Amino acid sequence: MSVLIGRETRLVVQGITGREGEFHSRAMQAYGTRIVAGMTPGKGGQTALDGTVPVFDTVADAVRETGANTSCIFVPAPGAPDAILEAVGAGIGTIFCITEGIPALDMVPVVEAVRQAGARLVGPNCPGATSPGRAKVGIIPDSVHREGDVGVVSRSGTLTYEAVQAMTDAGIGQSTCVGIGGDPIIGTTFLDVLQLFAADPETRALVLIGEIGGAAEEEAAAWAAEHLADIPKAAFIAGRTAPEGKRMGHAGAIISGRAGTAASKVAALEAAGFRVAGSPTELPGLLRVAGHRG
């Protein structure tokens, strides 16, 4: 079993005919993801990926003709909010928005619309998700993965790749790896993903990769302390040396006063039973210290 994506995923790629959309769609398809449709306005009736994927003018057409249930969005920032809303309106249940640079104020009503529709948005500015051996949606390199039972959730794309590669090199596989994105306004939080992992019988250990800014890690830690006390857990928090008031990399990675500091996040995670690493490469060893035997 996996969370968010799996063998049942039927993917429509919004923006499949663009450079980034085509490049990453080829990688997803090569991994085994079932890409059933592409969508680019004005290019309906064409095909993509060497004629293997039909292209539609609207997401609604793609859903009606192919039964697509998941979307991956490679649409430039000015059009990405509308692309998310179009996917929601077409009945797509799980939406991954890879696009970065979307203004936070533009995302506020979009996130609420997704919630009201009962759909799931991952991102924006996220790398997507991989269920090793089943499917990958987004831009996470498939070569870093190994099938296993550790659920990984992260705000950072590159730190995710480094941590997962370290786990794989140590013989520790993953059930699902989810990058939630580093923007201030996102559709799926650490807490949301931990709750999904808690309901997955094939996820038997957890890795959380956070960073300075906001209180999402602390909220997830508080929930984990109550509901995930008996599962091996490890974490890493980036930005321990970041100066106050300066954004570091992600739009959401900014410390304001005492809120969102690395120290507060580390303390909350340790209190919840997470073994907190000093670097991503320490995570495999800490998982084993915490009791993981995979």
Asked if residues 125 and 75 have their Cβ atoms less than 8 Å apart, the reply is no
Q: Which residues pair with 70 in a beta bridge?
A: 11, 94
Strands 128-131 and 47-48: unpaired
b vs e for 7-18, b when ≥16 Cβ sit within 10 Å of the residue's Cβ?
eebbbbbbbbbb
Q: How far is CA 36 from the centre of its chain?
A: 21
* Residue 241: φ, ψ to 5°: -105, 10
Residue 52 to residue 164: CA distance in whole angstroms: 31
Tokens standing for residue 189: 């939080």
Question: Catalytic annotation on 24?
Answer: no
Out of 24, 145, 250, 292, pick the active-site residue: 250
Catalytic residues: 250
